[in-house]
Structure 1
Amino acid sequence: MDAFYASVEQRDNPVLRGQPVAVGGSRQRGVVAAASYEARQFGVRSAMPSVVAQRKCPHLVFVKPRFEVYKEVSRQVRAIFAEYTPLIEPVSLDEAYLDVTHNLKQMASATRIAEQIRAKIFEQTQLTASAGVSYNKFLAKLASDYQKPNGLFVIKPHEGLGFVEPLKVGDFHGIGPVTAARLNQLGIFTGADLRQQSEQWLRQHFGKAGSYYYAIARAIDHRPVVADRVRKSVGSENTFEQDLTEYEELVASLQPSIDEVWEYCQRTEVLGRTVTLKVKYADFQLITRSRTSFALISSQALLERITLELLAALLPMPKGVRLLGVSLSNLDNTDELVGRQLVLEL
């Protein structure tokens, strides 16, 4: 989807159309969750601190996120995907991989399928989407970004290697800014440069990821589209406008995160065994504390109790706290537990 959160806000509020819009908090410590294309022209990007975004674009309009609305639109879009294939691998609310090799419409052209999906998305949601079509996930992802917004780009099998060669390594999906800078230091700037390196040399410098870099430099990606991927953890965190020190303040600030994590558990019928508390102090020092339960954490009250016990163990706080978060991992689907988990009733 194109500038998904911001586009939903512009769709629902005509006053915002054509305006530079940032979804997120405008407070001192707010962060931009999404930026409209009008805002991006000023250099505003997602994950950018709000104060920096405001400096780059003084007339930027901040809008509070409405995640329930975004989730509902996401469900609409995925229902359209499901008309064509059951092989849907969600990446986020606004992005997914689809394998349409054997599709439900028995259409011979993936490009035609992408055209139909984009048209249906616009018809049903009044929002635009961009699509990339290719013979593997790596190239499809690159293609999806190539003609944004509201674009469609195809990389055919005989075009893959030629498409990758001139790309900067920083534009490769799976190579972040830190890795790109390190590659540059080693004299590797483009796909062609990367292809000159042996797999052994890349593994020596980048570990297991070196094999992935070796393959994508040759436009090779054998990863399948995996439907219904198992999520490894669920978490929520908040950054505070002012540093917190008092226990009562910290407990009150943790409650929304606990609520959000448990709401996910109820909605997805997934439970977990490991609770992790995340604390970032005023000087940006980050610590985590975890506790793993033998049995699944089966109630919000238990999740809350373990979280607050982890917090209490840190008291008194040595310095102010700017961020608190809680996550639940070692997840398991409750449907799969029927018949293999004993329940003790006291």
Structure 2
Amino acid sequence: MPLFELPDIVDEHRKIIHVDMDAFYASVEERNHPAFQQKALVIAPDPRKHNGHGVITTANYRARQYGVGSAMPAIRALELIPAEQLQFIDPNFTLYRQVSQQIHQIFATVTDLWEPVALDEAYLDVTHNHLAVTNPAQLAMIIQRTIHRGLQLTCSVGISYNKFLAKMASDYAKPFGRTIVNGDQARNFLAEMPLSKFQGIGAATQKKLAAMNLTTGADLQAVPIDVLTQKLGKMGYIIYQRARGIDDRLVKAQRQSKSIGNERSFNRPIFSDEQVEQQLLKMTNQVAKTLKTKNLHGQTVVLKVRTLDFVTYTRRKTLTQFTNDPQIILPVVQELFTELALNQQPLRLLGVTMTNLVSQAFQEINLFEEDNDEYFR
């Protein structure tokens, strides 16, 4: 009998998507250089030019068919891939970071709860989301389609009720896959997996488990918790939970500005319509410029006005669309000011603010348009 046993408490209320870009660095290079698509592309310095030195960052799927993968010595690619098929290219991390930021902007249009793991992968908690879509599989498809149409890149997605299972699911069907693991499927899904594919089980822990004749999820599920904790300590407890589909880690939200504003106090109060219009124009343009710099757009316009006798008025209007266009924002600001009917009272302060912000997506992409892409049929 085990020394102690814990009840398996599985929290299935969350909806988590793990997005993993397919051969990200290589795919970006293939997109920018279509000729590379016909090559076994290896992202690494050419070892023939560096005295045999260099490590592979990643490789495209054609190169992977030859057994080439990340973290291998670059010279190994020369041994495995025919010379006429092989193409080396130095990694361009500045470019990859730029593309990663564009992908992150798409995530932010779906949910505020998204957590990047690396340039090419992230977790999204879509339990509550900006698109008001309750089906996480539909959201996953929208994300894949938006990235594909906007950036000409593909990703694989895993959908489940926690981060561990979502990550395992995204690895299950690559490239361009979409895998769902529900609560009643989790144990069977994990049972058939080799422990080498379990997220968080490194080479050293795999050796310890192999010494216990544990090589699959099913093997792990059969071991009492006290045995695992005696052998592996805290890691044993975590592995015990993961093998049963338990993972309570939260998706850590990215910090984002709640509002962007510009206001000014006047030492000499202003009162003429011309002065007010000039100030509102300057403030609106500054707010719009800041929004664009931060890749944000907002939906609610806020006007703040303070009179000579220190009476402060705040008025706001929510638009039917998100924007960072000053030509859209300014008429709303002017409308709000007109509605105050201050009749040229001297003013001590004016302020223009945009709230209800989200990251700016690709405006030309309609997330809900009719799907005619053969990839999604």
Structure with the larger RCO, 1 or 2 (CA within 8 Å, 6+ apart):
2
Alignment match of 2:233 (pick from 179, 189, 207)? 207
Show the counterpart of 1:38.
62
Show the counterpart of 1:180.
206
* Distance in 1 separating the partners of 2:196 and 2:124: 25
Show the counterpart of 1:23.
43
- Indicate yes or no: 2:22 matched with 1:2: yes
- Indicate yes or no: 2:116 matched with 1:96: no
* Distance in 2 separating the partners of 1:53 and 1:216: 35
Structure with greater Cα Rg: 2
Structure 1, 197-206 or 141-150: larger mean CA deviation? 197-206
1:202 partner letter = L
- Indicate yes or no: 2:175 matched with 1:155: no
Aligned to 2:214, what secondary structure does the other structure show? coil
Identical pairs, percent = 45
Paired residues for 1:182-331 under 5 Å? 182-228=208-254
Structure 2 contact 112–254 (Cα < 8 Å) conserved: no
* Distance in 2 separating the partners of 1:123 and 1:131: 16
Q: Quote how far apart the aligned CAs of 1:68 are.
A: 1.2
Show the counterpart of 2:348.
none
Q: Quote how far apart the aligned CAs of 1:186 are.
A: 0.9
1:35 partner letter = A
Structure 2 contact 126–136 (Cα < 8 Å) conserved: yes
Alignment RMSD, CA only?
1.2
Show the counterpart of 2:78.
54
Aligned to 2:58, what secondary structure does the other structure show? strand
Q: Quote how far apart the aligned CAs of 1:198 are.
A: 2.1
Show the counterpart of 1:307.
none
Aligned to 1:22, what secondary structure does the other structure show? strand
1:13 partner letter = H
- Indicate yes or no: 2:11 matched with 1:14: no
Q: Deviations over 1:116-163 (max 9, x none)?
A: 010000111101111000111111001101110011111112111111
Structure 1, 156-165 or 87-96: larger mean CA deviation? 156-165
TM-score (structure 2 length as normaliser): 0.59
Show the counterpart of 2:298.
none
* Distance in 1 separating the partners of 2:182 and 2:158: 11
1:216 partner letter = R
Q: Quote how far apart the aligned CAs of 1:219 are.
A: 1.1
Q: Quote how far apart the aligned CAs of 1:56 are.
A: 1.4
Q: Quote how far apart the aligned CAs of 1:181 are.
A: 2.6
Alignment match of 2:90 (pick from 51, 64, 68)? 64
Unmatched tracts of structure 2, length 5 or more: 1-20, 256-377
Aligned to 1:119, what secondary structure does the other structure show? helix
TM-score (structure 1 length as normaliser): 0.64
Alignment match of 2:137 (pick from 108, 111, 116)? 111
* Distance in 2 separating the partners of 1:215 and 1:54: 43
> Which aligned runs of 4 or more in structure 1 are off by greater than 6 angstroms?
none
Structure 1, 198-207 or 16-25: larger mean CA deviation? 198-207
Aligned to 2:134, what secondary structure does the other structure show? coil
